Amino acid sequence: MGRRARICSVDIDRDRSLAARLNIHSIPTLIIYSAARERERFFGVQTAEKLVAALTRWVALPDDDINHHLRLT
């Protein structure tokens, strides 16, 4: 069985304390966690290729699966 990812969002206007704990100061911010530790953080709009590469590093899904879901192929 392959590893999976969970995607969550934070409404920083409604939950300012969580945004502060996660050190979110700008949107969009993407934080990738693995084994309960922050591994990478992205600020602002990113290319799909950059996000796919990061998720592949930490989630280890085959490229074909990620590309299919993001409709990059």
Q: Give average pLDDT by consecutive 10-residue segment, the chain, 73 residues.
A: 74 93 92 88 94 85 53 50
Could you tell me the residue range of the domain that residue 46 belongs to?
A: 16-70
Residue 52 CA to residue 30 CA, distance in Å, equals 12
User: In 22-62, which ranges are continuous DSSP H helix?
Assistant: 48-59
| CA nearest neighbour of 31 among 23, 4, 60, 72 | 23
Structure tokens at 48: 């799909």
**What pLDDT does residue 73 have?**
43
Number of domains in the chain: 1
The DSSP bridge partners found for residue 31 are 41
Residue 4: inside a domain:
no
Residue 8: inside a domain:
no
Q: What are phi and psi of 41, to 5 degrees?
A: -140, 135
pTM over 0.75: no
Residue 66: inside a domain:
yes
Residue 1 CA to residue 58 CA, distance in Å, equals 15
